Each structure stands twice: as C-alpha cells, then as structure tokens.
Amino acid sequence: MRIPALSWDSMKDWVTKHGPGFSSKTPMMFHRQDERLRGEWQGFAPMVACITVLPQGQVTEALMKSFMDNYMSQEYEGDRKLVIIYHQEDQQAADVARPYVNGKSVIAATAFGEGRFISSTAYRYGGWLARDVDITAQWDFDAWHHPLQLSMQVRAMVASNRPASVVTWVTDFSTDGTNSNAVQGGFGQHGSMVGETSWMRKNWMPLIEHEHSVPGGLHAGEVVQIDMPELLAYHGMETHD
C-alpha cells in the first residue's frame, strides 16, 4: 500500500474549497497504527506556534527547565516557536522564563488577569501574538508531551483534511507515579487543541466548557481526534481539577 504524501498547501486548498463544516458531522478518529500518519511531507511542513500559560506563583527554575527540555525534544519536521504568557505581577515566572527567551523561536509576554490566571483569554492572547504562523497549538505547562505529539497532530490534520486536531485520551499518572490510566482529555485544563490559525482564532476557547462539545457538535466535521494516550501525560489530574 502506497502511503499518500502530506501537503499543507493541498490541505488548505481543500478546506477553503469546501468551506466550514465541509465534511461529515460524524467524529473522525486516528489510531497509532494508521498508515496515513506516516506519509512523507511534500514541500514544507507548516509553521506552528505552541502557546503556554505559566501558572501564577507556581513556576520554579526546575519546572521551567523540565518544561523547556520536553519542548525541545519535539521531533516536529517544520519550524515552530514557543509563546510563553505569564501574569504581569508574577516576577518569579518572568525571571525563570527570561533565560530561554530569544525573541524569535521563543517569545514571552505579560498578561493581566484576576483569580486563577490560566485562562482562555491568556491563551488567546498568546495566539494573537503568533498570528503569522500556519498552526496554533495549546501547549500545557503542566503536561509531559511525547516527542511525537506535535508531529502526529499536524499529520492527522493534513491526512484528514480537517483544520484542527485533539488528543482525545491522555495518560494520568498517580501522584506517586506508580500507576497510570488513560482518561478522557483533550479539552479544558488538559487541552490539546491544535489547529489552523484562522480556524483557532474563530473557534478556540480553551478552558471554557463549550470547547468540550466541539468533536460531537457543530464543528465535528472539522476536528480529527487522535486515540494515542501516550502523546500527553499528567500527574494526578483529579487532584488538579
């Protein structure tokens, strides 16, 4: 069986031609063994901006180093940049993030907010700062991201001709790390939404309850789901909620 090549330009042309809600309203799922996720890129892979929001008052040097090491381990085939958003009053987060910021592949900005700072507004502000890229990705600071996560999510979008993708199930480790379970995720606090930037600008509402209905609702035909829990892992999700 010949594996089809992956083409970002062809995917965008197809989506533009068919318009919003172009495909079936039936949810679409890719599994790890799907050969369509292994195609070679025809032309350049799209540029991606990963948006992360630092939890106010919780970011240490050790956590930041671990997060950045994990981010740098991504095996994505195209260009990417990381956009770090932290609270305007969180000097500690600013200090620990500063050594990693170079103004090009890693940028940082401050945002305002009240109460729990990690908000939909903060994520969307990060997306606005990176509005010149092809794809925008929610990149959770509290998660461990498999080196293939970004590649698999972008490949799933292109192979399915859908402008967005989510990891539907994620791995939840117990707080002591001795047990793990696959639990439903992909949205809200444990979000994994990755999508074409103009689509994300219209539809991406991270941490808002409405987003949970995206795969089965109005946008079901626009989001491809990925059944690979190993792509995203957390410790003690229930204690974080």
For 43-83, write each residue's pLDDT tens digit: 999 999 999 999 988 999 999 999 999 999 999 999 999 99
* Average pLDDT taken over every residue of the chain: 85
DSSP for residue 25: S
Question: Does residue 3 belong to any structural domain of this protein?
Answer: no
Question: Does residue 225 belong to any structural domain of this protein?
Answer: yes
Among candidate residues 194, 224, 222, the one with its CA nearest the CA of residue 45 = 194
Residue 64 near residue 97, CB atoms below 8 Å: yes
Provide the residue range defining the domain that includes 166: 8-240
For the chain, the domain total comes to 1
Residue 69 near residue 36, CB atoms below 8 Å: no
Beta bridge pairs of residue 136 = 49, 195
pLDDT of residue 240: 45
Question: Does residue 32 belong to any structural domain of this protein?
Answer: yes
Question: Does residue 1 belong to any structural domain of this protein?
Answer: no
* C-alpha span between 66 and 32 (Å, rounded): 26
For strands 164-167 and 223-227, give the pairing. Answer: parallel
Tokens found for residue 38: 């292994």
pLDDT under 70 in the chain at which residues? 1, 18-26, 114-117, 174-179, 183, 186-189, 207-220, 236-241
Residue 204 near residue 193, CB atoms below 8 Å: yes
* C-alpha span between 168 and 211 (Å, rounded): 13
pLDDT in tens, 11-38: 888 777 766 555 555 678 999 889 889 9
Question: Does residue 64 belong to any structural domain of this protein?
Answer: yes
CATH number (domain holding residue 141): 3.90.550.10
pTM of the model: 0.88
